[in-house]
């Protein structure tokens, strides 16, 4: 299959994060010939070293990357499959070429745990010009498109999680100082924190400072910038700022941590694959619509009530309940139950077919009918 994936970066890194993982998996695992159109190469370069933010065309990891500028759009014609991420509208000239060749056209939607997704997944939308677009929804059940997950993920993760030496060597290469590695070996808890500015990060710091077990807090540069001033007291977490790194290394950070605070869409899915407790900060929307989506996921996530209460408090900073919720969720019996739930969540979700595999099969079926 020859496919074009279209990605417009609305904000942050989730749009390009999802598209880049999908492009690599379709190219590497499914052997598709992929052209990835991206409008914001600077954001792309932040999560993928080697991307030239000024190149009109470049190749990386077997993917042909096209800078999607609008004036004028690159003069390329559609091939077998067109995947537009998050309803981003391919350029008009490209859609003209689609009217001539009638490729399979997919709109890849945002991830949601809500049940209506199952009835909309795979539906066609007939356009007045004769083209048909199909909606493809990621999700957590077999009636959806599934989640992005590489074929060799579990083996790589298990090898890292089972070896302190491998973790030390990886974390050292990521800039974690030797005395922090010694703290981890001495029993300190490792927490990673990737959140939006609204997250009650200072409350997290307060709760961790009060906990008997010391904590090492791994935080990307620029995230929760006030954290250092909240971590001055004795017993406060030791903060290590990490540079933005390539996705496979970001995954390794999640695998090394005992507890991951993640956000948005892609890091949330990756934290599930770490098979460790996770706290999700959902992308905030108008009128708190996102809280319904959060509840839909919590209804599926098998963590104990204390962990669910923490996740709710993390997403509602105005409730003021985050610090107490952290303390409750980390108490020994609750923590043990949460850790077991995280392993179950990974096992049950990874037993389902992955998104790239599902999407490839869905497109192949549609292509036969063309
Ligand atoms: O950056 P985000 O907040 O992205 C959001 C969400 O996707 C949201 O749903 C969407 O509407 C909005 O973007 C436009 O969080 P997310 O989804 O976790 O994306 C972050 C990406 O950055 C993810 O692919 C992981 C990657 N990343 C790295 O590769 N290296 C790093 O060092 C870090 C911190 C992140």
pLDDT at 370 over 90: no
The share of the chain scoring above pLDDT 90, in percent, equals 96
- Predicted pLDDT of residue 70: 86
The reply to whether ligand 1 has any atom less than 6 angstroms from the CB of 265 is yes
CATH value at residue 264: 3.40.50.2000
Per-residue pLDDT tens digits for 95-146? 999 999 999 999 999 999 999 999 999 999 999 999 999 999 999 999 999 9
Mutate to test the pocket of ligand 1, among 12, 147, 245 (most ligand atoms within 8 A of CB): 12
Known catalytic residue at 292: no
Residue 135's domain comprises 2-147+352-368
Q: Residue with the nearest Cα to atom 32 of ligand 1? A: 244
- From 266, 268, 284, 285, the mutation candidate for ligand 1 (largest count of ligand atoms within 8 A of CB) is 266
pLDDT for residue 73 is more than 90: no
- Indicate which residue of 80, 251, 265, 346 is catalytic: 265
**Ligand 1 lined by 266 (C-beta under 6 Å):** yes
Q: Is 15 a catalytic residue?
A: yes
pLDDT in tens, 136-163: 999 999 999 999 999 999 999 999 999 9
Question: Is pLDDT larger for residue 75 or for residue 252?
Answer: 252
User: HEC states along 111-178?
Assistant: CCCCCHHHHHCCCEEECCCCCEEEEECCCCCCCCCCCCCCCCHHHHHHHHHCCHHHHHHHHHHCCCCH
Tell whether 121 and 268 lie within a shared domain: no
> Global pTM?
0.97
Q: Determine the distance separating the centroid of ligand 1 and the alpha carbon of 10, expressed in angstroms.
A: 11
- Measured between alpha carbons, how far is 212 from 130 in angstroms, rounded to an integer? 65
Same domain, 159 and 134: no
CA of 282 to the centre of ligand 1 (A): 11
Does residue 139 share a domain with residue 175? no
Asked whether residue 97 falls in the same domain as residue 238, the answer is no
Instruction: Supply the CATH number for residue 99's domain.
Output: 3.40.50
């Amino acid at each position: 299959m020859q496919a074009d994936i279209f990605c417009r970066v609305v904000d942050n890194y989730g749009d390009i994060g999802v598209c880049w993982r999908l492009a690599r998996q379709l190219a590497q695992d499914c052997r598709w010939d992929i052209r990835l159109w991206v409008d914001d190469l600077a954001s792309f370069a932040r999560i993928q070293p080697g991307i030239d933010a000024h190149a009109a065309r470049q190749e990386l990891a077997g993917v042909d990357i096209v800078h999607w500028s609008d004036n004028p759009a690159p003069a390329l014609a559609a091939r077998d499959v067109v995947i537009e991420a998050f309803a981003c509208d391919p350029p008009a000239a490209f859609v003209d070429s689609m009217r001539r060749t009638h490729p399979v056209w997919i709109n890849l939607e945002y991830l949601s745990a809500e049940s209506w997704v199952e009835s909309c997944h795979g539906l066609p939308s007939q356009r007045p010009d004769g083209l048909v677009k199909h909606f493809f929804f990621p999700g957590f059940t077999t009636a959806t498109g599934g989640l992005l997950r590489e074929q060799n993920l579990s083996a790589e993760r298990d090898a890292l999680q089972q070896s302190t030496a491998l973790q030390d060597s990886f974390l050292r290469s990521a800039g974690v100082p030797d005395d922090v590695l010694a703290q981890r070996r001495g029993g300190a808890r490792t927490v990673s924190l990737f959140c939006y500015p609204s997250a009650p990060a200072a409350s997290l710091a307060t709760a961790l400072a009060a906990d008997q077990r010391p904590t090492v807090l791994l935080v990307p540069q620029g995230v929760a910038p006030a954290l250092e001033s909240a971590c001055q007291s004795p017993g406060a977490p030791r903060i290590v700022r990490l540079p933005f790194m390539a996705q496979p290394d970001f995954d390794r950070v999640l695998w090394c941590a005992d507890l991951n605070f993640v956000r948005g869409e892609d890091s949330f899915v990756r934290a599930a694959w770490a098979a460790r407790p996770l706290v999700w900060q959902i992308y905030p929307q108008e009128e708190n619509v996102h809280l319904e989506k959060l509840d839909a996921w919590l209804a599926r996530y098998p963590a104990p009530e204390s962990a669910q209460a923490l996740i709710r408090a993390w997403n509602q900073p105005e409730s003021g309940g985050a610090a107490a919720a952290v303390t409750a969720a980390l108490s020994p019996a609750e923590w043990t139950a949460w850790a077991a739930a995280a392993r179950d969540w990974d096992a049950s979700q990874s037993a389902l077919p992955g998104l790239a595999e599902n999407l490839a099969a869905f497109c192949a079926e549609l292509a036969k009918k063309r």
